């Protein structure tokens, strides 16, 4: 009776009596170019990177990933904290360059797939137990690496979005103060439009905010988030806003002189207000005026007074 084959060993899983990590190590010099070719072909974001960067930093990252997986196969040792930190830093650079998160994660998966394909092709019927061991180690490696990639990417994007939000709020403040906002617009990376539609919004409660047993603050935040998302979706250019759960101020870019704001524009604005109310699930009362950037401060004061008059006179939503 034939004794069952031992799984793994001092040198990790083996196919045909040869340690898998040694097979992969021998193939490493040609494997990195194969992975790079696949990244450029199947991930457009990588194909758009400068060739110098692809030949340098990205190729080095691919080679590092292959050799890290070789170590995982050899002894089952998953990447250490220092290696995961390096992966997070690399992912943060890709985030700063505008490479989508799915492309960054996909690059590591492509590399792991090519490594697995290289060695699994040499497995025979008697190597099933070692094949399963390779798969377990591959999944363990990808789990840690994917988390490190996501952590570095998200942290960089949060920092960038924070800086972007600060710059936009600075521009909004400058517009509301009066004077020349061009320097603040340049810092925010925003082109000033010929005019803004200045909206002062009064927002009623969402039904969930009035319902017993519901977390009213969560319901209010959800309402506000839906309003912001729909405003961004419906608005060409970059809207500026300061909003709370009962309303606030919004500046919508208008590609024409303020004096050209006509009946057709008012109709479009009416439809926008209706859509915003529908999406956030609350009644909106909106006062609006068109103004050139240097006139936003006066327009904001005026629409604030108009909204107060509309509320005091019992005007309905719209």
pLDDT of residue 118: 85
Mean pLDDT of 2-14: 58
Residue 85 lies in a domain: yes
Residue 102 lies in a domain: yes
Residue 237, CA distances (Å) to 142, 170, 195, 243, 281 in order: 39, 17, 12, 18, 25
Which residue, among 230, 292, 287, 283, has the nearest Cα to 259 in the 3D structure?
292
**Does residue 149 sit in the same domain as residue 218?**
no
Residue 265 lies in a domain: yes
Domain end, chosen from 116, 145, 160, is at 160
**Does residue 296 sit in the same domain as residue 200?**
yes
Q: Which of 3-17, 50-64, 240-254 has the lowest mean pLDDT?
A: 3-17
pLDDT of 98 higher than 50: yes
**Does residue 119 sit in the same domain as residue 250?**
no
**Does residue 63 sit in the same domain as residue 148?**
yes
Domain end, chosen from 160, 185, 212, is at 160
Query: Residue 280 maps to which CATH number?
Result: 3.30.70
**Does residue 144 sit in the same domain as residue 197?**
no
Residue 187 lies in a domain: no
Under the banding of pLDDT at 50, 70 and 90, the label for residue 3 is very low
Say what the pTM is.
0.61
**Does residue 19 sit in the same domain as residue 151?**
yes
* Mean pLDDT over the full length of the chain: 85
Q: How many domains does the chain have?
A: 2
Give the pLDDT confidence of 106-155 residue by residue, as tens digits: 998 988 888 888 888 888 888 888 889 888 988 998 999 999 999 998 88
CA distance 227 to 99: 28
Residue-by-residue DSSP string for 195-246: EEEEEEEEE---GGGGSTTS-HHHHHHHHHHHHHHHHHHH-SS--EEEEETT
Q: Which helix (H) or strand (E) holds 52?
A: helix 51-53
* C-alpha dihedral (53, 58, 64, 66), degrees to nearest 10: -140
**Does residue 226 sit in the same domain as residue 153?**
no
Residue 8 lies in a domain: no
Pair 81, 142: CB distance under 8 Å: no
Under the banding of pLDDT at 50, 70 and 90, the label for residue 1 is very low
Percent of the chain scoring above 70 in pLDDT: 97
pLDDT of residue 6: 46
Residue 175 lies in a domain: no
User: Higher model confidence: residue 261 or residue 295?
Assistant: 295
pLDDT of 4 higher than 50: no
Secondary structure (3-state) at 281: coil
Neighbouring C-beta atoms of residue 266, cutoff 10 Å: 12
Mean pLDDT of 254-261: 85
pLDDT of residue 143: 92
**Does residue 148 sit in the same domain as residue 275?**
no
**Does residue 66 sit in the same domain as residue 149?**
yes
Residue 168 lies in a domain: no
pLDDT of residue 146: 92
pLDDT of residue 9: 52
**Does residue 36 sit in the same domain as residue 113?**
yes
**Does residue 146 sit in the same domain as residue 199?**
no
First to last CA, the chain: 86
Query: Residue 65 maps to which CATH number?
Result: 1.10.490
Residue 68 lies in a domain: yes
**Does residue 154 sit in the same domain as residue 198?**
no
pLDDT of residue 10: 59
Greatest distance between any 2 Cα atoms in the chain: 96
Percent of the chain scoring above 90 in pLDDT: 6
pLDDT of residue 8: 52
Under the banding of pLDDT at 50, 70 and 90, the label for residue 167 is confident
Pair 14, 131: CB distance under 8 Å: no
| Domain range for 54 | 14-160
């Amino acid at each position: 009776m034939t004794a069952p084959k031992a799984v793994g060993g001092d040198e990790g899983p083996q196919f045909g009596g040869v340690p898998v990590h040694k097979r992969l190590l021998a193939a490493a010099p040609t494997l990195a170019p194969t992975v790079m070719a696949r990244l450029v072909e199947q991930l457009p974001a990588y194909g758009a990177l400068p060739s110098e960067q692809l030949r340098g930093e990205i190729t080095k990252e691919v080679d590092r990933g292959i050799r890290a997986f070789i170590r995982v196969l050899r002894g089952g040792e998953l990447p250490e904290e220092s290696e995961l930190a390096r992966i997070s830093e690399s992912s943060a650079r890709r985030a700063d360059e505008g490479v989508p998160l799915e492309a960054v994660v996909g690059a590591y998966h492509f590399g792991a797939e090519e490594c697995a394909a290289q060695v699994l092709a040499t497995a025979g019927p008697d190597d099933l137990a070692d094949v399963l061991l390779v798969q377990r180690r591959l999944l363990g490696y990808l789990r840690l690496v994917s988390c490190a990639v996501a952590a570095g990417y998200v942290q960089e994007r949060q920092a960038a979005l924070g800086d972007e939000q600060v710059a936009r709020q600075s521009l909004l403040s400058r517009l509301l103060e009066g004077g020349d906002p061009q320097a603040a617009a340049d810092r925010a990376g925003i082109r000033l439009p010929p005019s803004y539609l200045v909206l002062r919004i009064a927002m009623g409660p969402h039904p969930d905010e009035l319902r017993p047993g519901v977390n009213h603050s969560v319901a209010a935040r959800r309402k506000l988030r839906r309003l912001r998302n729909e405003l961004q979706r419906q608005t060409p250019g970059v809207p500026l806003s300061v909003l709370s759960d009962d309303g606030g101020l919004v500046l919508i870019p208008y590609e024409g002189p303020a004096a050209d704001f006509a009946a057709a524009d008012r109709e479009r604005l009416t439809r926008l207000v209706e859509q915003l109310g529908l999406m956030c699930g609350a009644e909106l009362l909106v006062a609006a005026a068109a103004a050139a950037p240097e006139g936003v401060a006066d327009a904001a004061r005026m629409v604030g007074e108009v909204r107060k008059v509309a509320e005091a006179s019992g005007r309905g939503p719209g």
